[in-house]
Protein backbone atom coordinates (compact mmCIF):
# COMPACT_ATOMS: atom_id res chain seq x y z
CA UNK A 1 0.00 0.00 0.00
CA UNK A 2 1.25 3.44 -0.87
CA UNK A 3 0.74 6.48 1.37
CA UNK A 4 1.42 10.17 0.92
CA UNK A 5 2.60 11.56 4.22
CA UNK A 6 2.57 15.15 5.37
CA UNK A 7 2.51 16.15 9.01
CA UNK A 8 0.33 18.58 10.94
CA UNK A 9 2.25 20.32 13.70
CA UNK A 10 -0.44 19.92 16.36
CA UNK A 11 -0.74 16.18 15.75
CA UNK A 12 3.02 15.63 15.63
CA UNK A 13 3.48 17.45 18.93
CA UNK A 14 0.90 15.14 20.49
CA UNK A 15 2.66 12.08 19.02
CA UNK A 16 5.98 13.29 20.44
CA UNK A 17 4.33 13.68 23.85
CA UNK A 18 3.21 10.05 23.65
CA UNK A 19 6.78 9.11 22.72
CA UNK A 20 8.27 10.85 25.76
CA UNK A 21 5.62 9.63 28.19
CA UNK A 22 6.02 6.05 26.94
CA UNK A 23 9.73 5.98 27.80
CA UNK A 24 10.40 3.86 30.89
CA UNK A 25 12.84 6.25 32.55
CA UNK A 26 10.48 9.19 32.12
CA UNK A 27 7.58 7.19 33.58
CA UNK A 28 9.71 6.37 36.61
CA UNK A 29 10.79 9.99 37.01
CA UNK A 30 7.18 11.22 36.78
CA UNK A 31 6.09 8.69 39.40
CA UNK A 32 8.92 9.66 41.75
CA UNK A 33 8.28 13.38 41.38
CA UNK A 34 4.54 12.86 41.95
CA UNK A 35 5.20 10.75 45.05
CA UNK A 36 7.60 13.42 46.33
CA UNK A 37 5.04 16.18 45.63
CA UNK A 38 2.24 14.27 47.37
CA UNK A 39 4.48 13.43 50.32
CA UNK A 40 5.51 17.09 50.62
CA UNK A 41 1.85 18.19 50.42
CA UNK A 42 0.82 15.76 53.16
CA UNK A 43 3.75 16.74 55.36
CA UNK A 44 3.00 20.43 54.79
CA UNK A 45 -0.69 19.98 55.60
CA UNK A 46 0.25 18.23 58.83
CA UNK A 47 2.60 21.17 59.58
CA UNK A 48 5.61 18.83 59.78
CA UNK A 49 7.64 20.76 57.18
CA UNK A 50 7.98 24.36 56.14
CA UNK A 51 6.43 25.63 52.90
CA UNK A 52 9.79 25.51 51.09
CA UNK A 53 9.89 21.70 50.36
CA UNK A 54 6.26 21.84 49.25
CA UNK A 55 7.02 24.80 46.98
CA UNK A 56 10.12 23.05 45.61
CA UNK A 57 8.19 19.88 44.81
CA UNK A 58 5.49 21.92 43.07
CA UNK A 59 8.05 23.82 40.99
CA UNK A 60 9.81 20.58 40.12
CA UNK A 61 6.54 18.96 39.05
CA UNK A 62 5.47 21.95 36.95
CA UNK A 63 8.93 22.22 35.35
CA UNK A 64 8.94 18.56 34.45
CA UNK A 65 5.45 18.72 32.92
CA UNK A 66 6.37 21.82 30.89
CA UNK A 67 9.56 20.10 29.70
CA UNK A 68 7.86 16.87 28.59
CA UNK A 69 4.59 18.38 27.42
CA UNK A 70 5.69 21.59 25.69
CA UNK A 71 9.42 22.21 25.45
CA UNK A 72 10.81 18.81 24.28
CA UNK A 73 8.13 18.12 21.64
CA UNK A 74 8.53 21.65 20.24
CA UNK A 75 12.32 21.33 20.17
CA UNK A 76 12.22 17.98 18.36
CA UNK A 77 9.61 19.27 15.90
CA UNK A 78 11.70 22.34 15.03
CA UNK A 79 14.95 20.35 14.67
CA UNK A 80 13.54 17.61 12.44
CA UNK A 81 13.14 18.50 8.78
CA UNK A 82 11.12 15.30 8.30
CA UNK A 83 8.04 16.91 9.82
CA UNK A 84 8.08 19.77 7.30
CA UNK A 85 8.45 17.52 4.22
CA UNK A 86 5.90 15.58 2.24
CA UNK A 87 6.90 12.14 1.02
CA UNK A 88 5.68 8.78 -0.18
CA UNK A 89 5.70 5.68 2.00
CA UNK A 90 5.12 2.20 0.76
CA UNK A 91 4.27 -0.57 3.20
CA UNK A 92 4.83 -4.03 1.79
CA UNK A 93 4.90 -7.49 3.29
CA UNK A 94 8.71 -7.62 3.49
CA UNK A 95 9.88 -4.00 3.36
CA UNK A 96 9.13 -0.41 4.27
CA UNK A 97 9.98 2.21 1.60
CA UNK A 98 10.27 5.99 1.81
CA UNK A 99 10.63 8.28 -1.19
CA UNK A 100 11.24 12.01 -0.83
CA UNK A 101 12.75 14.52 -3.25
CA UNK A 102 13.79 11.76 -5.65
CA UNK A 103 15.61 9.81 -2.94
CA UNK A 104 14.34 6.35 -2.12
CA UNK A 105 15.23 4.33 0.98
CA UNK A 106 14.00 0.95 2.19
CA UNK A 107 14.17 -1.04 5.40
CA UNK A 108 13.43 -4.68 6.03
CA UNK A 109 10.98 -5.13 8.91
CA UNK A 110 13.67 -6.82 11.00
CA UNK A 111 15.50 -3.47 11.17
CA UNK A 112 12.71 -2.09 13.38
CA UNK A 113 12.91 -3.23 16.97
CA UNK A 114 9.37 -2.30 18.05
CA UNK A 115 6.28 -0.32 17.19
CA UNK A 116 3.84 1.63 19.27
CA UNK A 117 0.33 2.70 18.30
CA UNK A 118 -1.25 5.92 19.55
CA UNK A 119 -4.62 7.43 18.60
CA UNK A 120 -3.15 9.37 15.65
CA UNK A 121 0.06 7.57 14.68
CA UNK A 122 2.10 4.43 14.38
CA UNK A 123 5.56 4.91 15.91
CA UNK A 124 8.05 2.59 14.22
CA UNK A 125 11.23 2.40 16.31
CA UNK A 126 14.70 1.63 14.99
CA UNK A 127 16.12 1.92 18.51
CA UNK A 128 15.13 3.57 21.80
CA UNK A 129 15.36 7.11 20.42
CA UNK A 130 15.10 6.81 16.63
CA UNK A 131 11.65 6.32 15.23
CA UNK A 132 9.43 7.09 12.28
CA UNK A 133 5.87 8.39 12.59
CA UNK A 134 3.15 7.20 10.24
CA UNK A 135 -0.03 9.27 10.61
CA UNK A 136 -3.17 7.18 10.60
CA UNK A 137 -5.01 9.79 8.56
CA UNK A 138 -2.60 9.08 5.65
CA UNK A 139 -4.30 5.72 5.08
CA UNK A 140 -6.90 5.70 2.32
CA UNK A 141 -9.30 3.37 4.09
CA UNK A 142 -9.93 1.50 7.30
CA UNK A 143 -8.98 -1.71 5.46
CA UNK A 144 -5.53 -0.29 4.64
CA UNK A 145 -5.10 0.79 8.26
CA UNK A 146 -6.04 -2.69 9.49
CA UNK A 147 -3.73 -4.31 6.95
CA UNK A 148 -0.83 -2.12 8.14
CA UNK A 149 -1.57 -3.17 11.74
CA UNK A 150 -1.36 -6.81 10.70
CA UNK A 151 1.96 -6.25 8.91
CA UNK A 152 3.41 -4.39 11.91
CA UNK A 153 2.14 -7.04 14.34
CA UNK A 154 3.59 -9.90 12.28
CA UNK A 155 6.98 -8.34 11.56
CA UNK A 156 7.75 -5.98 14.46
CA UNK A 157 7.43 -6.66 18.16
CA UNK A 158 4.91 -4.43 19.92
CA UNK A 159 5.84 -2.46 23.01
> Both 85 and 66 in a single domain?
no
> How distant is the alpha carbon of residue 142 from its chain centre?
22
pTM of the model: 0.81
Here the CATH number for the domain that contains residue 112 is: 2.30.29.30
What is the number of structural domains in the chain? 2
pLDDT digits (tens, 9 = 90+) for 56-85: 878 888 898 898 889 999 999 999 888 888
Residues with Cβ within 8 Å of residue 12, at least 6 apart in sequence: 73, 77, 83, 133
Is residue 158 predicted with pLDDT exceeding 80?
A: no
Which residue, 20, 53, 79, sits at the end of a domain? 79
Q: State what percent of residues in the chain have pLDDT above 90.
A: 52
pLDDT digits (tens, 9 = 90+) for 96-118: 999 987 889 999 998 999 998 99
Domain range enclosing 113: 2-6+81-155
Which residue, 61, 79, 97, sits at the end of a domain? 79
Using pLDDT thresholds of 50, 70 and 90, give the confidence band for residue 159: low
> Both 74 and 17 in a single domain?
yes
> Both 36 and 67 in a single domain?
yes
Is residue 30 predicted with pLDDT exceeding 80?
A: yes
Amino acid sequence: MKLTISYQKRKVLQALRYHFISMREIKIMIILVNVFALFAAVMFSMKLISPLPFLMSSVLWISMMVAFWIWLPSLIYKKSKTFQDQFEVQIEEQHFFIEASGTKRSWAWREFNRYYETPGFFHLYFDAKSFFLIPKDAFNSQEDLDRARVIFREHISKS
